[in-house]
C-alpha cells in the first residue's frame, strides 16, 4: 500500500528543507523528495549557490587581506594560493552543510526519498527512485519547491570550458587569466570579485546604465567606483549580441549606448544573466496548477496554487530568487497546513544581499522608488571612511544610506555598501519590521567601535545630526 503523508515536499533547497523541518516540528507526517545524485540535500543554495559562492568569496577575501598585511604592520613572505586547496575548502563546507540538512531531516522524522518526483494528481506523487524502482506516495498536501536552473541565452550557449554558467564556474580546475562576466547582478558581481582577487583580469558587462541595477543608484555608483579602483573593468550600457570562440578563449561584442561597437576578448566568458523556474517532468498537467507565460507558478499571497492542497514556494515563484525568502515561504505554507494563523510575507521587508567586494545589502525602497511612490523623502548618509572600526579593518569604501519619509519620519529603505553590509542589514530589517522612525533608530545605543555605529549615524543623518561627520 502507498505510504500516507500529511505533506510531501518536492525539492530540498532552502524552501523545501526548511518547510520539512517546520512540518516535523509541528507533528505532520512529512516526506521530502530530492533528485540530486546520492541524495545530496540543500538544493541550489546549499550545493551550487549561496554556500559554495560564499566559501570562495571568503577565501578570496582572506587572500586579498593577506596581500594587504603590510598596511597592518604585518609581514607575509611568498604569499600564494593553492587552487585545489581552495576548491577543497569550498567542497568541504558544501558537504558539511548538506550533511547538516540530512541530520535535520532525521531529527525531525522527515522521510527522505532520493529520486525524481512527478505529481500524478492532487494527493498523489510518484517517485522514480535512484535505484530504478518507482513508488507512489499518498498525501494530503504537496509543496512544490523545485527551484530554478540557469536560463540559457540564445547565442551565448555554454560549453562548461570557455563559456560557463554559475554552476560551471564553481568547479574550475584553474583560475582563468581573463574573464568577461556578462550580467552585473548578484551572481555576476560576486564571481567578478572572486576571480579578480585570485588574479583574473575581469571585465564586467551590464546591459543597463549601471551595475547592480536593482539597488539604489548611489550604491551602483559607489560599487562601480570601488571596482574601478580595484582594477575590475566595467562596461555599462553594453548589449552583447555576438560571441565567437577563439584559439585562446572567447570573443564577444555588442553596441554601447553611443552606438559604438565594443569587442572584448578573454580566456573565459561567464554568462550570469538569470535563472528560470524548474518544473520539468513535474506532472503539473495532472493538476489545476497554473503556470504563467514566464514559466513561474501562479500562487496567491499564501503560496496556494489553483489546485487545493498544492502549494508552491521559492524560486518557482515570480518573486525575488533568494534563499531566505524561499525558507519563509516554506514556513508560511506548513504552518497553514497545520492550521495555524499565518500572515502573508511582506515583500517590502525582504533583505537583498550581494557578497561582492565591497558587500552590498538593502531592504525596502530605494530613494528613486520612494519618490516614485509619492513619498516626501529625507536621506541620511554616513560614509565608512568616517568610521573608526572601518579604518581599523582597512575597509573604508562605501556608506550606509537611510531613506525616510518626512511626515512620520518612518524608515522606508536602508542601503549599505561596505564592510559586513550583509550582516549590518539585519538591524535595518528588525527596525523596519517594527516600523521604526529614523529618530528612534538614531537613538539606539550601538557598541563602539563597530561598523554598525554607521547605521545609527546614518539614521541621525536624516535629521542632520551625525556625530562623526
Ligand X SMILES: Cc1cc2nc3c(=O)[nH]c(=O)nc-3n(C[C@H](O)[C@H](O)[C@H](O)COP(=O)(O)OP(=O)(O)OC[C@H]3O[C@@H](n4cnc5c(N)ncnc54)[C@H](O)[C@@H]3O)c2cc1C
Q: Which residue, 15 or 419, has its beta carbon nearer to ligand X?
A: 15
Q: Which of 71, 168, 420, 448 is catalytic?
A: 448
Query: What is the nearest approach in angstroms of ligand X to the Cβ of residue 318?
Result: 12
Q: Which residue, 149 or 386, has its beta carbon nearer to ligand X?
A: 149
Q: Which residue, 10 or 192, has its beta carbon nearer to ligand X?
A: 10
Query: What is the nearest approach in angstroms of ligand X to the Cβ of residue 63?
Result: 20
DSSP string of 117-142?
EEEEETTEEEEEETTS-EEEEEEEEE
Burial of residue 398 (number of CB atoms within 10 Å: 0-12, 13-18, 19+): buried
Query: What is the nearest approach in angstroms of ligand X to the Cβ of residue 363?
Result: 13
Query: What is the nearest approach in angstroms of ligand X to the Cβ of residue 463?
Result: 33
Other beta carbons within 10 angstroms of residue 376's beta carbon come to: 10
Q: Which residue, 264 or 360, has its beta carbon nearer to ligand X?
A: 360
Secondary structure class of 412 (helix, strand, coil): strand
Q: Which residue, 190 or 453, has its beta carbon nearer to ligand X?
A: 190
Query: What is the nearest approach in angstroms of ligand X to the Cβ of residue 169?
Result: 8
The answer to whether the peptide bond before residue 358 is cis (omega within 30 degrees of 0) is yes
What's the grid cell of residue 84?
A: 585545489
Could you tell me which residues come within 8 angstroms of residue 258 by beta carbon, excluding any fewer than 6 positions away? none
Contact 270, 107 (CB under 8 A): no
Q: How far apart are the first and last CA of the chain?
A: 72
Question: Rounded CA gap, 174 and 237, in Å?
Answer: 30
Length of the chain in terms of residues written: 469
Residue whose C-alpha is closest to residue 211's, from 272, 150, 275, 148: 272
Catalog residues that contact ligand X under the rule CB under 6 A. Answer: 10-16, 33-36, 43-45, 49-50, 53, 116-117, 145-148, 166, 187, 278, 282, 314-315, 321-324, 326, 353, 355
Q: Which residue, 353 or 425, has its beta carbon nearer to ligand X?
A: 353
Pairing of strands 310-312, 134-144: parallel
Helix axes of 186-197 and 217-230: crossing angle, nearest 10 degrees: 20
DSSP alpha helix (H) spans, 68-114: 83-107
| Helix or strand (DSSP H, E) at 115 | strand 111-121
Question: Rounded CA gap, 298 and 61, in Å?
Answer: 40
Residue whose C-alpha is closest to residue 116's, from 272, 11, 240: 11
Q: Which residue, 52 or 442, has its beta carbon nearer to ligand X?
A: 52
Query: What is the nearest approach in angstroms of ligand X to the Cβ of residue 317?
Result: 8
Q: Which residue, 187 or 252, has its beta carbon nearer to ligand X?
A: 187
Question: Rounded CA gap, 231 and 428, in Å?
Answer: 31
Query: What is the nearest approach in angstroms of ligand X to the Cβ of residue 51?
Result: 8
Question: Does the active-site annotation cover 71?
Answer: no
Could you tell me which residues come within 8 angstroms of residue 151 by beta carbon, excluding any fewer than 6 positions away? 273, 274, 275, 276
Query: What is the nearest approach in angstroms of ligand X to the Cβ of residue 353?
Result: 6
Pairing of strands 377-383, 178-182: unpaired
Q: Which sequence positions are flagged as catalytic?
A: 448
Amino acid at each position: 500500500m502507498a505510504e500516507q503523508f500529511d505533506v510531501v515536499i518536492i525539492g530540498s533547497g532552502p524552501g523545501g528543507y526548511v518547510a520539512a523541518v517546520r512540518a516535523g516540528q509541528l507533528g505532520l507526517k512529512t516526506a521530502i523528495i530530492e533528485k540530486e545524485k546520492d541524495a545530496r540535500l540543500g538544493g541550489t543554495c546549499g550545493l551550487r549557490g549561496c554556500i559554495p559562492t560564499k566559501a570562495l568569496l571568503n577565501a578570496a577575501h582572506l587572500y586579498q587581506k593577506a596581500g594587504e598585511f603590510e598596511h597592518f604592520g604585518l609581514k607575509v613572505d611568498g604569499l600564494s594560493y593553492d587552487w585545489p586547496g581552495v576548491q577543497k575548502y569550498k567542497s568541504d563546507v558544501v558537504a558539511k552543510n548538506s550533511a547538516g540538512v540530512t541530520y535535520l531531516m532525521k531529527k525531525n522524522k522527515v522521510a527522505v526519498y532520493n529520486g525524481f518526483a512527478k505529481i500524478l494528481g492532487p494527493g498523489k506523487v510518484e517517485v522514480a527512485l535512484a535505484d530504478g524502482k518507482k513508488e507512489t506516495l499518498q498525501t494530503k498536501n504537496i509543496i512544490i519547491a523545485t527551484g530554478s536552473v540557469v536560463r540559457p541565452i540564445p547565442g551565448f550557449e555554454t560549453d562548461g570550458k570557455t563559456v560557463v554558467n554559475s554552476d560551471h564556474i564553481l568547479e574550475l580546475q584553474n583560475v582563468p587569466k581573463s574573464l568577461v562576466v556578462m550580467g552585473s547582478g548578484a551572481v555576476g558581481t560576486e564571481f567578478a570579485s572572486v576571480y579578480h582577487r585570485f588574479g583574473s583580469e575581469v571585465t564586467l558587462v551590464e546591459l543597463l546604465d549601471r551595475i547592480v541595477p536593482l539597488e539604489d543608484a548611489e550604491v551602483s555608483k559607489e560599487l562601480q567606483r570601488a571596482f574601478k579602483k580595484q582594477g575590475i573593468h566595467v562596461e555599462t550600457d553594453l548589449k552583447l549580441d555576438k560571441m565567437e570562440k577563439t584559439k585562446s578563449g572567447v570573443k564577444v561584442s555588442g553596441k554601447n549606448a553611443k552606438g559604438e561597437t565594443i569587442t572584448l576578448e578573454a580566456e573565459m566568458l561567464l554568462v550570469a544573466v538569470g535563472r528560470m523556474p524548474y518544473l520539468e517532468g513535474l506532472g503539473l498537467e495532472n493538476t489545476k496548477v497554473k503556470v504563467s507565460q514566464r514559466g513561474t507558478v501562479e500562487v496567491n499571497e499564501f503560496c496556494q496554487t489553483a489546485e487545493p492542497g498544492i502549494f508552491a514556494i521559492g524560486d518557482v515563484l515570480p518573486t525575488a530568487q533568494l534563499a531566505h525568502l524561499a525558507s519563509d515561504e516554506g514556513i508560511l505554507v506548513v504552518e497553514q497546513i497545520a492550521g495555524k494563523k499565518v500572515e502573508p510575507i511582506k515583500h517590502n521587508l525582504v533583505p537583498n544581499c550581494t557578497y561582492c567586494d565591497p558587500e552590498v545589502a538593502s531592504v525596502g525602497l530605494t530613494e528613486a522608488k520612494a519618490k516614485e511612490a509619492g513619498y516626501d523623502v529625507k536621506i541620511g548618509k554616513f560614509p565608512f571612511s568616517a568610521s573608526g572600526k572601518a579604518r581599523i579593518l582597512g575597509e573604508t569604501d562605501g556608506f550606509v544610506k537611510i531613506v525616510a519619509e518626512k511626515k512620520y519620519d518612518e524608515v522606508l529603505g536602508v542601503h549599505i555598501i561596505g564592510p559586513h553590509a550583509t550582516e549590518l542589514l539585519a538591524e535595518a530589517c528588525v527596525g523596519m519590521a517594527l516600523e521604526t522612525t529614523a529618530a528612534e533608530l538614531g537613538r539606539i545605543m550601538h557598541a563602539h567601535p563597530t561598523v554598525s555605529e554607521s547605521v545609527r549615524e546614518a539614521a541621525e543623518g536624516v535629521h542632520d545630526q551625525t556625530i562623526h561627520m
